Structure 1
Amino acid sequence: MWAIRSLLGLRCAAGRTMSQGPARRPRPPKDPLRHLRTREKRGPSWGPGGPNTVYLQVVAAGGRDAGAALYVFSEFNRYLFNCGEGVQRLMQEHKLKVSRLDNIFLTRMHWSNVGGLCGMILTLKETGVPKCVLSGPPQLEKYLEAIKIFSGPLKGIDLAVRPHSAPEYKDETMTVFQIPIHCEQTSGQQPPVQSPERLSPQPPPLAESADGEQRPDGVGWKARGRDTSLVVAFVCKLHVKKGNFLVLKAKELGLPVGTAAIAPIIAAVKDGKSVTYEGREILPEEICTPPDPGITFIVVECPDEGFIQPLCENTTFRSYQGKADAPVALVVHMAPEHVLLDSRYQQWMERFGPDTEHLVLNETCESVHNLRSHKIQTQLGLIHPGIFPPLAGPRPQEGSATQGVPTVRGQCLLKYQLRPRREWQRDAVLTCDPEEFIAEALELPNFQESVQEYRKTAQDSPEATSSQYPEVVFLGTGSAIPMKIRNVSSTLVNISPDTSLLLDCGEGTFGQLCRHYGDGVDRVLGSLAAVFVSHLHADHHTGLLNILLQRERALASLGRPCHPLLVVAPTQLRTWLQQYHNQCQPLLHHVSVIPAKCLQKGAEVSSPEVERLINLLLETCGLEEFQTCLVRHCKHAFGCALVHMSGWKVVYSGDTMPCEALVQMGKDATLLIHEATLEDGLEEEAVEKTHSTTSQAIGVGMRMSAAFIMLTHFSQRYAKIPLFSADFNEKVGIAFDHMKVSLGDLPTVPRLTAPLKALFAGDLEEMEGRRERRELRQVRAALLAGEDVEPPQKRAPTEQPLSPQSKKARAQ
């Protein structure tokens, strides 16, 4: 045991130097996925034979926090219709396997439909999916080029883009036809009444950016690729499923069941042909069930009234309406309520006939999506309801706007089965029962006792006298990819009742705001003065565009003018924003970018415009100083420090290894928010991925004499709670999604440790077991390699220079 501890002590000490010892071996190439091997075995001769099981399932029901997304399952293929922010997280939570996706269909190039596509593609690539077909508007290919600005080359996955003009797509399950629908608005007409998602006006005339560059003015934007007047509908026709061979009936007729001679007979009757056996003609219906016809379903988006008339007049849709012999099974409507209420649209729906079902996905379809978030927040609220406030629940659904046809409002995980029989299935639909969550927590051993003990201790402690502000709301505390309990990086700092800023803005940040603030989200967006983007990894900035778009909508609803949002970020962010602006949606008029490098100590301001924006930032936020520094993660990665006029100082690390520049910038911080991606003992992995371990993060805080340290950005392997290290003390706290703390709450946070350990005892025990097994593997490997085992020598943490160019692409 002494040898084991000695060896492990040496490993930890060497890891803390962060420059000594080899990095972990590179992972071997991933094997082909099992379902791909099965498909290869079937071979090309398999051909379309019609699947036995096909159903559609609602992933996101159309609410403002989740958008509208649809998952289609067959035993051969998986499909996704639209991929807005948070879709990947929902699929992970509800066990809809991302690794099985063959196709992603996009109805239009709007952020509500494509906001999660970047993260989804990166996940497919990392999972080992060799190919994915993307179908939709013509700008799709340009969008994929644009995301390479921060993702790097998308090697290892073949992204086959099929524009709306391509011929039909056919695979083992179905044939898909793309139907382009153009808005009837012409250049001389006034725009129709817009849906909430189409509030963006055209950008103002030529504007100058913070670096003196000229922004596009919108003239000629259609020629360059952006076309907001186009949506793509999808007509999906299942392949005919051949009838089942009736073995017992065949035996009764004396057919050679069980011999090689039966194979051609089965093939013939399944194809609807009669056979002659021993002089007797046998009809196919005698020994085979009738074939299942190739039924059709349609997915259509109609974002505003400008698309209604073109939709009604489309000849392709007319060919599917009123067909009594082969009616369309289901039409999915992604349309706002005012479109559904339009008499023309209702008549168009009615023309499909009484046997067609209709599924509506829009903002009236309030549904619980992230059930695990509601569950864990309810249970955490038993410990401290102020620090862990309850999340906003769904509002009651409004009545259907279309009474003339069978209409169903979407709910997360609602299914419509197309085969083997057509029916709605609601057994998987989520229900949020806080009483059930509370009862489950109260049954945990020692939980109630630990909560009571904490409350008794809190009563004996002096009450906090600090102001409510600044108030910090942790919206995303996980790393790399969104998961069911921890979303990716984002922290809201409420500086005052009417001023706030975001520290990073990963995918799904707006959805987290909706769940945290409910109907008050517009007020919060209206108070948002600035966003700090630490670096261009997808888990830190891909939620920004939705914040920009939703902020404009919020300000319009509040009757306030929409001034550009100040964004402090690496200058490379502007390239991504401009590409999206050119190809998809106008948004550059929403934002003024302040290069993060211009806020470094001693940096020269690049232009008078930048200086004006910096002064505006300080004045708007009531700050004496907003300083940045380069940190040790990837190229152009920054941390920041906010010094308020009232005296408090909040420091944010972004993603980094222990960094001396951050220590110096953050001296005497009131609050340090530092990433702690990995547990102690994984120092080598932390070096490889340029992140910090728990003790390293705490060490940074101690060296800068921070009054309090909040740890965040945990690896998703620590889904509920990270492992506690020996360095934890009364100045250290763990962040959770939707945790809300003011400076006066900080002394309370460490006292929550005992109830937290009781609540997550099972998870902590499992992680401890994993750590022990890992340490034993390290020891065995060291002994096999003949390493000398010596007593550990205590080493002080040191820091070697690390080039910021060492990493690119997605956060690890």
Structure 2
Amino acid sequence: MLYGLSRRITLKIAEYSSIRGQKVITTTGPNPTSHYHKSPMTEMDTPIIRCWVDAATSTRIVAIVLEDEREYYIFRIKPEWESNGRDINWMEAIAFELLVSVLLARQYTGRVLVNSDSTAALAIFSGSVSRPGHLKEIGDRLKSQRFNWPFTVRAQWVSGKVNLAHPFSKGKVVQGLFENNIFNHLPGQRFKNLTAWWSASNSPGSPFSCFIKLPSLFDSTLEIPDLFNIHSVVSALTSDTEPCISVHFDTAHYLFNCGEGTTRSFIQQKYGIKKSKAIFLTQMKVSRLGGLTGMLMSLADAGVTGIDVLGPPGLNHFLASARSYVFRDWMSANTTEITQAQGLEKIYEDTFIRVYAFSMSPQISEAISIPVKRKASGGSLRSSSPKRPVRDNSDGGSERSGTQHSRNTSILKGVEADEWRATIIRDMFPGRSSQNQAPATVNKENSPPGISRAPRPRRSLNRLPVFEGSISTSVAYLILGPEIRGKFDPKAADALGVPKRERGKLTKGESVTVTVNGVQNIITPDMCMGESEAPTGFLIIDCPTKDYIPSLPDPQTFHPIRSETPFVLGSIYHRAGPGVLRDPRYRSWVATVAPPECNHLVASEDFSPNSISFQSSAHLSLILSELDKDMFFAPRENDSKDEIAKLNNVFQNPYILCPGFVTEMTPPKPPVLKLFPGVKNNLYKEHTATHARGESLLSTDDERDSFNKARQQISDLMSSHTHDPAPGDDFRVTTLGTGSALPSKYRNVISTVIQMPNYGSIILDCGENTWGQMCRRFGIDETAPENAYSVLADVKCIFVSHIHGDHHMGLLKLLTTRRALTPAPKDPLYLILNRASELCVREYHDLEDIGLGVENGVRIVQIEKHKSRCSRESNSRPISTKLEEITGLLGFDSIEAVPVRHRTNSCFGIVARHNNGWSFAYSGDTMPCDTLTEAGKNVTLLIHEASMADEEWEKAAEKGHSTIGQAMEMGTRMNAKYLLLTHFSQRYPKIPVIKSRFTATALAFDYMTISTPHFWKVGSYMGALEKVFESELTADDDIAMD
């Protein structure tokens, strides 16, 4: 089966001679041969018609380009095309079948060269697909017809970057192709069958709703102009996402801001990342950059080989602080720090966009204080101007096993400090084509003295030099799209005698020389081209508080840009803090800069509703809550704000920022909501309304039957089930994230909260967007007895098992949010983590206050510092021997960090025993591990990772993880009373099968809360859960690569 083959594999594509029925196999691939099979009945001088085919699920378009005939054909597939197992491979194969129909209808005879970037379609066309289903049906139809074809066909693979049909299938060739729903207004022409001509009568059974044929689009060349320049909203302002704006061209994408949850938003919205060229940040705050490290790893893993990252001062410091867990040898990352500047400065330019920037900073003397209510629940956030954090002079100790340099790099200053950070980033992202090359070494000429012998700067466990630049800068961006060249006038070219083969040069701005009646004339582009259109631009302004308003630049600073390149300002994105949009100074500045027709897209705490960001996960959780509303919780939202009417008093043409908003740049248009097939932003709202009416969301009889059976079984068992009171009955476990490696549509990365009444809470690992998950699980209603703010204020300890990003990239957001709580928590927060994780925290504190060095702030416990052994032979490290206050706060007799077996040297589990008689163990990431088994003997609850299915035990061993069966065996050996499995591979489409002697084994789900007396229920729920996951989950949660 050829699906998903690497393009390095040579494909054998069949070449058919229809007249004699010969089948000649030739070899093609990424570097196809240039010869063609000669049919005995085809003269060598018979012309070759070059064809290109492509299909796209996002537009439902199948496109065919006949290069030599200067024609293309577009077919729109009906919305229901995706039913019955059809997928993109089916669409790509249909493109081949449609091509045959076109050629037959045009009565073409001769040789045909078909170019496609789909290996699956090529395999189908060559007859290599034998499995039953829709693809085999297409192959069989082609096979039965090919002996009647009056032409010879040869197919070859080409890159999608050069496939001329690719832009057509995306709807990107004709400007305004989708205007006014053009496909819904075409004449009612349909395919009667695949060998009929366009004039066939309608056929309800056809998969095609309509087609459009545009002949002679290009009179001179098939160079395809890239007119699909849009900017779109990937994520909006909610409790779990910050706005992310994507500027989208056919071959290039650009991102503006990358807060927590950005990667997951791309997955949810089905946006692609593979063509990303640059990321721009407005502030060096975790709210704007919390998802950057995860995005960089996702980009590299998607095949991106180079990315530009631009932002305010501190960008290099932040990236260098992530050196222990963010590195990809095959990708380069080029960083630019935008320093304070007067007016607008050009900071970036390529073929598609030009970006200008201006800096803003708070003017404290002109600040207007914003009163903040103080609540006993700790439910408010401070709103104040940025202040430099308390200087953290600790280097966090040292670790002998880490890479040390002959000079203490933490004391470097100025240029030397900057160069050391840059050296680290170059080593994190060297951009080598092969990982087998020799490790990078520090360049002696460009590196600070005394550190040239360091083998890998990214492995340094010395603290970074303290960052001394501005920490309050906010950068605004003016983005200009490309100038749109004028239309080519073929009549003028004919009159001037320009040959068709030369006309492409004119469209590229080149002059040509022609000879007419023996006279040579130089033809310049302006003789055959219409006037070019001025580029369209848009602004992104991030104004955190009113204190920044005085630093907005004089509107006159836009004039030099306009004089150099006249542009139209079509839109402004406003990321505005409380009170900013209502401030007359801000409104006056905007009115001066923006023309009346400018669109204003607003993200502000004053106006933006807290809508659901991740619809798929929310919908699944809502369905699970039908099974047990006290165990499975639907995410909380607050969609009551309807502020458009008020915004009308602030701006003309206002819009509340919403995921899926798309704004065309040329010509500038208002934003419209355009979602990919399968994406529906209001799905959760509709379903919560259905749920509130008491109606079920279950879609099949099997699901309803399984739920009813589970409820009945629980009801029957309740009468006979007895539970004797036991220590630990009152603590609750909430699984905020239950996935591994990367977030997906249905599971966020790992994080677990244990809440102990009268003692406080402990968080076990905190992957990216843990705070957002907490907001969705507990809500942000400050009047509620329990809300996310009160839960966070009650957290006394956070344990980070190891340095891999999926276990700690949400930590900084938790700490900055806790630091902003008003009133401040009454107790300190202890971080138990390893040396590398500690460095990330301390170094980020240079950029944003996370509570180090303040009363009842953050206190760090570095695991490696505590080398004394426990009385057991487990080599555990007793943290509580040094910090007895942890045990006093949380009521534990002991807390032990236990070395476990993973792919990193410093990876730990934790075992905690409470003075009330109950205990828990948490594995972190590990293979089956004797040290954890011994340390956790007879624990009440074991929380263990179960990354892989049992049949993937070899892969689990390779990656340092456990299978489900191995996790259960660990519970048996440990004699744990209860077992909670979590950290599942994001590729699991179904519920794993549980086979264990444990009657008290539970699978973790996002937003699930369970206490030990209720573990027995989970076994009765398994059948119902399996049914739901069969219909809800798919294995295609990877980020779209197109």
TM range (shorter): 0.7 to 0.9
Q: Which amino acid aligns with 1:615?
A: E
Query: Aligned runs of 1:750-769 on 2, under 5 Å?
Result: 750-762=1019-1031
CA–CA distance in 2 between the matches of 1:50 and 1:108? 35
Matched, 1:381 2:615: no
Query: Aligned runs of 1:125-164 on 2, under 5 Å?
Result: 125-151=300-326, 153-164=327-338
Matched, 1:566 2:830: yes
* 1:185 to partner: Cα distance: 3.9
Matched, 1:416 2:663: yes
2:988 — aligned with what?
A: 718
Do the aligned partners of 1:76 and 1:173 also contact (CA within 8 Å) in 2?
A: no
CA–CA distance in 2 between the matches of 1:183 and 1:277? 67
CA spacing shift, 1:665–1:353, aligned 2, 3 Å: same
* 1:455 to partner: Cα distance: 1.4
* 1:377 to partner: Cα distance: 0.4
2:128 — aligned with what?
A: none
Matched, 1:228 2:474: no
Which has the higher Rg, Structure 1 or Structure 2?
Answer: 2
Counterpart pick for 1:618 among 860, 884, 887: 887
1:170 — aligned with what?
A: 349
Do the aligned partners of 1:109 and 1:140 also contact (CA within 8 Å) in 2?
A: yes
Matched, 1:101 2:276: yes
Q: Which amino acid aligns with 1:539?
A: D
Matched, 1:539 2:806: yes
Report the secondary structure of 1:292's partner residue.
coil
Do the aligned partners of 2:238 and 2:608 also contact (CA within 8 Å) in 1?
A: yes
Matched, 1:487 2:751: no
CA spacing shift, 1:198–1:102, aligned 2, 3 Å: farther
* 1:209 to partner: Cα distance: 8.7
* 1:154 to partner: Cα distance: 3.5
Q: 1:230-260, CA deviations, whole angstroms, 9 ceiling, x for partnerless residues?
A: 121111111111133355x669x76779832
Q: Which runs of 5+ in 1 are unaligned?
A: 1-25, 768-812
Do the aligned partners of 2:636 and 2:778 also contact (CA within 8 Å) in 1?
A: yes
Report the secondary structure of 1:119's partner residue.
helix
Do the aligned partners of 1:470 and 1:742 also contact (CA within 8 Å) in 2?
A: yes
| Higher RCO (C-alpha 8 Å, min separation 6) | 1
Report the secondary structure of 1:750's partner residue.
helix
Farther-moved stretch of structure 1 (310-319 vs 368-377): 310-319
Do the aligned partners of 1:676 and 1:697 also contact (CA within 8 Å) in 2?
A: yes
Do the aligned partners of 1:78 and 1:102 also contact (CA within 8 Å) in 2?
A: yes
1:685 — aligned with what?
A: 955
Query: Aligned runs of 1:325-340 on 2, under 5 Å?
Result: 326-340=567-581
CA–CA distance in 2 between the matches of 1:549 and 1:624? 30
Do the aligned partners of 1:51 and 1:75 also contact (CA within 8 Å) in 2?
A: yes
Could you tell me the TM-score, scaled by structure 1's length?
Answer: 0.79
CA–CA distance in 2 between the matches of 1:392 and 1:305? 30
Counterpart pick for 2:944 among 669, 674, 695: 674
Do the aligned partners of 1:379 and 1:437 also contact (CA within 8 Å) in 2?
A: no
Farther-moved stretch of structure 1 (747-756 vs 582-591): 582-591
Q: Which amino acid aligns with 1:360?
A: V
Q: 1:274-306, CA deviations, whole angstroms, 9 ceiling, x for partnerless residues?
A: 999899999999976653321111112111122
Do the aligned partners of 1:327 and 1:356 also contact (CA within 8 Å) in 2?
A: no
CA spacing shift, 1:457–1:725, aligned 2, 3 Å: closer
1:702 — aligned with what?
A: 972
Q: Which runs of 5+ in 2 are unaligned?
A: 1-5, 10-29, 32-116, 119-157, 165-220, 340-344, 372-380, 400-409, 415-463, 781-786, 872-877, 1037-1042
2:844 — aligned with what?
A: 580
Matched, 1:456 2:712: yes
Matched, 1:524 2:791: yes
CA–CA distance in 2 between the matches of 1:308 and 1:222? 32
Farther-moved stretch of structure 1 (160-169 vs 540-549): 160-169
* 1:63 to partner: Cα distance: 2.4
Q: 1:361-403, CA deviations, whole angstroms, 9 ceiling, x for partnerless residues?
A: 2234223211111110011112111111221023322524562
CA–CA distance in 1 between the matches of 2:304 and 2:515? 47
Do the aligned partners of 1:209 and 1:592 also contact (CA within 8 Å) in 2?
A: no
CA–CA distance in 2 between the matches of 1:508 and 1:344? 35
Counterpart pick for 1:630 among 896, 899, 906: 899
Query: Aligned runs of 1:390-429 on 2, under 5 Å?
Result: 390-399=634-643, 400-401=646-647, 403-406=649-652, 407-428=654-675
Report the secondary structure of 1:239's partner residue.
coil
CA–CA distance in 2 between the matches of 1:586 and 1:525? 14
Query: Aligned runs of 1:74-93 on 2, under 5 Å?
Result: 74-93=249-268
CA–CA distance in 2 between the matches of 1:696 and 1:549? 37
1:292 — aligned with what?
A: 533
Matched, 1:434 2:687: yes
Farther-moved stretch of structure 1 (408-417 vs 701-710): 408-417
CA spacing shift, 1:263–1:562, aligned 2, 3 Å: same
Q: Which amino acid aligns with 1:446?
A: D
Matched, 1:243 2:486: yes
CA spacing shift, 1:224–1:581, aligned 2, 3 Å: same
CA–CA distance in 2 between the matches of 1:418 and 1:765? 35
CA–CA distance in 2 between the matches of 1:763 and 1:73? 30
Report the secondary structure of 2:580's partner residue.
helix
CA–CA distance in 2 between the matches of 1:517 and 1:469? 18
Higher percent of residues as helix: 1
Q: Which amino acid aligns with 2:621?
A: Q
Report the secondary structure of 1:138's partner residue.
coil
Report the secondary structure of 1:460's partner residue.
helix
Report the secondary structure of 1:669's partner residue.
coil
Do the aligned partners of 1:513 and 1:521 also contact (CA within 8 Å) in 2?
A: yes
CA spacing shift, 1:262–1:121, aligned 2, 3 Å: closer
Report the secondary structure of 1:760's partner residue.
helix
CA spacing shift, 1:456–1:749, aligned 2, 3 Å: same
Farther-moved stretch of structure 1 (142-151 vs 124-133): 142-151
CA–CA distance in 2 between the matches of 1:386 and 1:277? 86
CA–CA distance in 2 between the matches of 1:107 and 1:38? 33
* 1:263 to partner: Cα distance: 4.0
Do the aligned partners of 2:896 and 2:912 also contact (CA within 8 Å) in 1?
A: yes
Do the aligned partners of 1:478 and 1:489 also contact (CA within 8 Å) in 2?
A: yes
Do the aligned partners of 1:594 and 1:613 also contact (CA within 8 Å) in 2?
A: no
CA spacing shift, 1:353–1:321, aligned 2, 3 Å: farther
Report the secondary structure of 2:551's partner residue.
helix
Do the aligned partners of 2:283 and 2:473 also contact (CA within 8 Å) in 1?
A: yes
Matched, 1:343 2:584: yes
* 1:441 to partner: Cα distance: 4.9
* 1:553 to partner: Cα distance: 2.2
Matched, 1:443 2:687: no
* 1:562 to partner: Cα distance: 6.0
Do the aligned partners of 1:479 and 1:539 also contact (CA within 8 Å) in 2?
A: yes
Do the aligned partners of 1:676 and 1:691 also contact (CA within 8 Å) in 2?
A: yes
Report the secondary structure of 1:99's partner residue.
coil
Q: 1:457-491, CA deviations, whole angstroms, 9 ceiling, x for partnerless residues?
A: 11122356557621111011111111111111100
Could you tell me the TM-score, scaled by structure 2's length?
Answer: 0.63
CA–CA distance in 2 between the matches of 1:258 and 1:728? 82
Do the aligned partners of 1:81 and 1:105 also contact (CA within 8 Å) in 2?
A: yes
Report the secondary structure of 2:820's partner residue.
helix
Q: 1:102-140, CA deviations, whole angstroms, 9 ceiling, x for partnerless residues?
A: 100011111111111111111222222110001111321
2:361 — aligned with what?
A: 182
2:237 — aligned with what?
A: 62
CA–CA distance in 1 between the matches of 2:298 and 2:746? 18
CA spacing shift, 1:644–1:676, aligned 2, 3 Å: same
Do the aligned partners of 2:599 and 2:670 also contact (CA within 8 Å) in 1?
A: no
* 1:572 to partner: Cα distance: 2.6
Q: How many residues align?
A: 719
CA–CA distance in 1 between the matches of 2:880 and 2:267? 44
CA–CA distance in 1 between the matches of 2:774 and 2:580? 27
Do the aligned partners of 1:50 and 1:239 also contact (CA within 8 Å) in 2?
A: no
Report the secondary structure of 1:514's partner residue.
helix
Q: Which amino acid aligns with 2:549?
A: I
Farther-moved stretch of structure 1 (625-634 vs 166-175): 166-175
